[in-house]
């Protein structure tokens, strides 16, 4: 899925659709502590910690979902780092935008890693789940979990984080295929609980792990 510096990071996320193939908690515990973990590309970090976000579609029909995404990013990446996300309004052709979000019924993805996303394209999120991820429509809470988890994961890529399961030290029982661009910096040991890890032992992952927080603070500083 790599094409030069423009990469498609598909997010058939974690346990949301059962894409992961992992061992038990006991299996993971034999591979060391999950404290102080992460995987990122240090060459793709944003130099400006105030990042402008815009939406391609500001229709009334997705206003609640757009606000939910904004709240989840505020309560995760923004709360635990020195990053600030501003704007969240409609994308304008003649205005520089850092993260351009499109809404489409496809697998959520980011068209770049870190600050590459401001040059290579956009981020795509799914709010309807008719053609992709139909299991996300089983209940209102499950739909919200899907939207939130996808958004946190894709923003992780937009900040420079690679997939945790791409790490060279991942345990043998994490068999999800490597995907997307690799990082150049590993923080601590493999993090089974990372929002960036497809090998996650739960039905979904809708929060940052302690390792995610440690890593984003190493990348961008503390609040």
- Tens of pLDDT, residue by residue over 90-99, are 998 777 889 9
Q: What share of the chain is helix, strand, coil (3-state, %, to 5)?
A: 30, 15, 50
Reported confidence tier of residue 33, pLDDT bands at 50, 70, 90: very low
Q: Give me the pLDDT at residue 38, please.
A: 73
| pLDDT, averaged across the chain | 79
pLDDT in tens, 192-219: 888 888 777 555 578 899 999 999 999 9
Nearest to 180 by CA among 76, 74, 41, 52: 41
Say whether pLDDT at 182 is over 50. Answer: yes
Nearest to 10 by CA among 107, 105, 106: 107
Give the orientation angle of helix 210-220 with respect to helix 140-159, to 10 degrees: 30
Q: Average pLDDT, stretch 153-173? A: 82
> Is residue 157 one of the residues assigned to a domain?
yes
> Is residue 73 one of the residues assigned to a domain?
yes
Domain count, the chain: 1
Rg (the chain; Cα; Å): 16
Positive or negative, the Cα torsion across 67, 70, 74, 77?
positive
What percentage of the chain exceeds 70 in pLDDT?
74
Domain that holds residue 30: 2-6+14-216
d(CA 125, CA 171): 30
Question: Higher pLDDT residue, 176 or 41?
Answer: 41
Say whether pLDDT at 88 is over 60. Answer: yes
pLDDT in tens, 77-87: 999 999 999 99
End-to-end CA distance of the chain: 35
The CATH number assigned to the domain holding 123 equals 3.40.390.10
> Is residue 221 one of the residues assigned to a domain?
no
Q: What angle is formed at CA 104 by the lines to CA 100 and CA 110, rounded to 5 degrees?
A: 45
Number of neighbours of residue 180 by Cβ within 10 angstroms: 18
d(CA 88, CA 2): 29
pLDDT in tens, 102-151: 999 999 999 988 998 887 678 999 999 999 999 999 999 999 999 999 99
Which residues, including other chains, have CB under 8 Å from residue 59's CB and lie 6 or more apart? none
Predicted TM-score of the model (pTM): 0.81
> Is residue 222 one of the residues assigned to a domain?
no
Q: Give me the pLDDT at residue 97, please.
A: 83
> Is residue 223 one of the residues assigned to a domain?
no
Instruction: For residue 103, give both structure tokens.
Output: 């809404």
Residue 52, CB-side half-sphere exposure with 13 Å CA sphere = 11
């Amino acid at each position: 899925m790599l094409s030069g510096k423009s990469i498609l990071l598909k997010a058939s996320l974690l346990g949301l659709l059962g894409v992961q193939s992992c061992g038990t908690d006991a299996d993971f515990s034999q591979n060391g502590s999950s404290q102080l973990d992460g995987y990122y590309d240090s060459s793709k970090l944003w130099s400006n910690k105030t990042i402008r976000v815009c939406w391609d579609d500001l229709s009334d029909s997705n206003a609640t979902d757009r606000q939910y995404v904004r709240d989840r990013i505020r309560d995760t990446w923004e709360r635990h780092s020195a990053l600030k996300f501003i704007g969240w309004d409609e994308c304008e052709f003649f205005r520089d935008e850092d993260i351009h979000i499109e809404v489409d019924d496809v697998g959520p993805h980011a068209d770049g890693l870190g600050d590459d996303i401001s040059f290579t394209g956009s981020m795509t999120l799914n709010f309807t789940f008719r053609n992709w991820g139909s299991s996300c429509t089983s209940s209102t809470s499950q739909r919200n979990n899907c939207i939130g988890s996808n958004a946190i994961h894709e923003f992780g890529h937009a900040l420079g984080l690679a997939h945790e399961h791409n790490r060279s030290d991942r345990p043998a029982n994490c068999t999800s295929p490597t995907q997307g661009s690799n990082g150049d910096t590993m923080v601590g040991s493999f993090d089974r609980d990372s929002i960036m890890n497809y090998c996650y032992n739960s039905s979904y992952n809708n929060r940052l792990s302690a390792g995610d927080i440690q890593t984003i603070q190493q990348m961008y500083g503390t609040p």
